[in-house]
Structure 1
Amino acid sequence: MDPRYLHERPATGLGPLAPAPRILLLYGSLRERSYSRLVVEECARLLQLMGCETRIFDPSDLPLPDQVASDDHPAVHELREHALWSEGQVWCSPERHGQITGIMKTQVDHLPLAYKGLRPTQGRTLAVMQVSAGSQSFNSVNTLRILGRWMRMVTIPNQSSVAKAYEEFDEAGRMKPSSYYDRIVDVMEELVRFTVLVRPHADQLVDRYSERRERDRPVATPADAAGLTRP
């Protein structure tokens, strides 16, 4: 990366930069040399350089959904705690048989829309990425976008797809200079901007009529607060 062209605080002027934006990163492979993990490690370095706090979840101990009664498992609790901590997330999956991996889907399946009255994903920003063993494809990122929308996340427009990922990393696991790496920098800059832009409005963006009605929480209008009668 050429630091002459990097905005170290890309969200300056878009909203409060303190506290540091909190970003959770998920990857979708358990291989010893997992390219999706190497990508999120590069992303974490970039995000830290841009002033963010990051956590990378290790899915190696995660059970299948419904495998453990009530999902009472330390890895499930850890994942949900990380999600609740986060303001934004990065999801990176390998493409396997034209789709995301089961490891990636398992992590998303363990993140409920509502959990103990809290929302692990709703209103949070999301960047989607994929790695491929062959030519460039967008099957996995397209699926991740569908999942992000279903989880009521603010999925940013930009995305990354790294083709022939085995050629893009050196022996130490660091990504080589390339247009693929430049795109990852682009995506991280955009994620930081959207996260800071959304953070003052996250609660309002997921405030829904149907949920207010279900919980019997009428909207207190200014007229109601003043004790005035509506016409």
Structure 2
Amino acid sequence: MKRRWTALVCAVGLCAGLTLPAAAAGTYVDVPGGAWYADEVSQVTEKGYMTGVDPTHFVPLANVTRATVVTVLWRMAGSPAPTASSGFSDVAADAWYTQAVDWAKEKKIASGDGKGAFHPDQQITREEMAVLLARYDAYQGIDMAEGALNLFSDANQISSWAKEGVQHAVGMGWLEGTDGKLNPDGLASRAQLAAILVRMDTPAMG
């Protein structure tokens, strides 16, 4: 049973791109009603941004892959048809995330590793995710926010290439620290991604 559950968690990235029966709010047996992410999971499921690994399991604490992040951003953009192939050597023409990766490359949201590969199944860190989210906003014509990174004790651990993206994510209220730390190298979970998507989809009040 343990091996079967491990296999299910490892398949999270794959299932993120499959068309599964729509799950009504509260039908995921692994999302307790009192969990901090319960409402967010319900919202992203209802909007079609994210799906469960099957109709009754969301696996909220599983780590998110690069393919999953670009796929949900593509869905938020309305699932537009890309005009060209990304050309990444590790993105098969028939993969569930191919259109999303092609679109993300075309819109300068994802750029790969500089060596011709995208690494779709690689688990994504919080700072890497912040960069993709910030580029998505840039694609939408939104100015970059300048969050106060000096409020976090581990701000010096943010990679130089990710600083602008993390600043934007903090300034927009998407990334929130824990105990005064951002944990930029920490892996992002499906629950965290769901929460961020809801924040991105909520108009700012002002």
How high is the TM-score relative to the length of structure 1? 0.23
| Higher strand content, 1 or 2 | 1
TM-score normalised by the chain length of structure 2: 0.25
Larger radius of gyration: 1
